[in-house]
Amino acid sequence: MATAVNLKNPSTGLVKTGYFGFSWTTLFFGFFPALFRGDFITFIGGFVIAMIIALATAGVGAFVISVIWAFMYNKYYTRRLIEKGYVLNDSPEVNRQAAEALGISVGSVATTPANNV
């Protein structure tokens, strides 16, 4: 199950929610969670590739892709936010869990947690 983590861009002050863990919404709705999060390129690319594979494999390949993508998407999305300059900005315990799950250093953590801002 996915766990939410608050992220903040120190230079712009924008706050977003990242996730780590298995994505049930991605499993059930395919690439549409990417669209709803504003990740348009991922949505378009994934949707096109899934449709091509679905046509070539009578839908079985698309199901396999959905299962694999459900394990990968939350980590992918949150790491892309961190690459764009966002830092973890949640409670110390959630920050530690997120850093461990995302495979990032603790240096990507904001100095002031969200509840102290």
Half-sphere exposure of residue 115: CA atoms within 13 angstroms, side-chain side: 7
Q: What is the pLDDT of residue 117?
A: 47
3-state SS assignment for residue 16? strand
3-state SS assignment for residue 93? helix
Strands 3-8 and 87-88: antiparallel
pLDDT tens digits in sequence order for the chain, 117 residues long: 899 999 999 999 999 999 999 999 999 999 999 999 999 999 999 999 999 999 999 999 999 999 999 999 999 999 999 999 999 999 999 999 999 999 998 665 655 555 544
Q: For the beta carbon of residue 87, count every other beta carbon within 10 angstroms.
A: 18
DSSP run (H or E) holding 6? strand 3-8
